[in-house]
Structure 1
Amino acid sequence: MMYWGGDMGGWGYVLMVLSFVLFWGAIITAIVFFARSTGAGGRRHEGVAPGHGIAEDLLAERFARGEIDENEYTARLAVLRRGRAAPR
């Protein structure tokens, strides 16, 4: 006589744990990818060393918004570029 007392057996528990880990792993991975794609305004500077070009971009944005005039823009841009060329 077959007896199915409601016990899944060893493989049933293994599959349940595996599916639980895969499900939550997929959810967490999706959240991380979404956060990375929307983080920092989606701004990416590929092929540029970290930190280079970001200050110039911010300066250009301030100039475009009219927060600084042309003389201040060119003076600050020259300082930024001179600072980048200096040996470390």
Structure 2
Amino acid sequence: MMFWYGHGVSGWGWFAVSAGMIVFWALIITLAVMLFRYLNSPREDTHAHTTAASTPEDILRKRLARGEIDEEEYRHRLSTLHAGPLSKT
């Protein structure tokens, strides 16, 4: 008779264990879904406008088209590029 009254878990204890188990599995499933979505999401290239295939002339043309530089500065920089590297004297 002592077993039934002194050593059992009450109704609130069963509720707490059940609710805790539901919360635990909900967190595990949520983390798994978030990890799956993160690993399968497309990545944006942060350097898309200056790829390795872009030449200096292409970059200058794009800057002129975006309005970052005016035509005079474009021509000056373009002639500097075509003149070659500066020599140190």
TM-score by length of 2: 0.46
Q: Give TM-score, length-normalised by structure 1.
A: 0.46
Larger Rg: 2
Of structures 1 and 2, the one with the larger relative CO (CA 8 A, separation 6+) is 1
